């Protein structure tokens, strides 16, 4: 991620003293991890929406329907993730200048087959699984059961999405 993108995701703490049984340094670190997961979720939401609009070919309908379900679920997830960042005592990212780089380019979409689009979504969902699993482990190690549970739900969504995407393009 570019330095400007990382800077815009740096969690900022409020002025309140928080005593919820989680150490301040852990809360700051997890807020940073969740901010990066939030940005990746937005990227995947936008990409899923763009592919939903532009997929063509004999498997158009199942991809069109699945990507619609995915971008709606992903958009709802952004609120859940941002609210957890706030509950940890940090500001959710407020600067999304880098969003212009979230969507595939017109030439990418023009040259992508339905299979290419699905494979690209698979790549992003796999990355989301790896990042959520790592953050969930960290949450568990720090007795942050709320964040761990939230991330488990995100993992469940992404792993099911991967199964469905792979099934659509299986030979």
**Is 148 contained in some domain?**
yes
The answer to whether residue 19 is domain-embedded is no
What is the total count of domains within the chain?
1
Domain limits for position 96: 3-9+24-169
Residue 16 covered by a domain: no
Task: Find, among 27, 17, 36, the residue nearest to 143 by Cα.
Answer: 27
pLDDT digits (tens, 9 = 90+) for 145-170: 999 999 999 999 999 999 999 999 98
**CATH number, domain containing residue 95:** 1.20.1260.10
CA geometry: angle 44, 49, 55, nearest 5 deg: 115
Say which range, 50-59, 81-90, 135-144, 152-161, has the weakest mean pLDDT: 50-59
Q: Is residue 113 part of a domain?
A: yes
Determine the 3-state secondary structure of 102 from DSSP.
coil
> Using one digit for the tens of pLDDT, what is the confidence trace for 65-108?
999 999 999 999 999 999 999 999 999 886 655 555 555 655 56
59: phi then psi, degrees, rounded to nearest 5: -105, 25
């Amino acid at each position: 991620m570019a330095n400007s993108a990382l800077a815009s995701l740096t969690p900022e703490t409020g002025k309140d003293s928080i005593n919820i049984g989680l150490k301040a340094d852990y809360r700051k670190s997890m807020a940073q991890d969740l901010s990066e997961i939030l940005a990746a979720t937005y990227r995947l939401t936008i990409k899923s929406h763009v592919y939903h609009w532009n997929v063509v070919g004999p498997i158009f309908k199942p991809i069109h329907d699945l990507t619609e379900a995915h971008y709606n679920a992903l958009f709802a997830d952004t609120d859940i993730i941002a609210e957890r960042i706030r509950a940890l005592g940090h500001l959710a990212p407020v600067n999304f200048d880098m969003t212009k780089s979230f969507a595939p380019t017109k030439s990418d979409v023009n040259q992508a087959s339905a299979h290419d689009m699905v494979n690209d979504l698979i790549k992003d969902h796999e990355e989301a699984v790896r990042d959520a699993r790592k953050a969930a482990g960290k949450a568990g190690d720090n007795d942050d059961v709320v964040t761990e549970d939230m991330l488990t739900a995100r993992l469940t969504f992404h792993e099911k999405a991967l199964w469905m995407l792979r099934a659509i393009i299986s030979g």
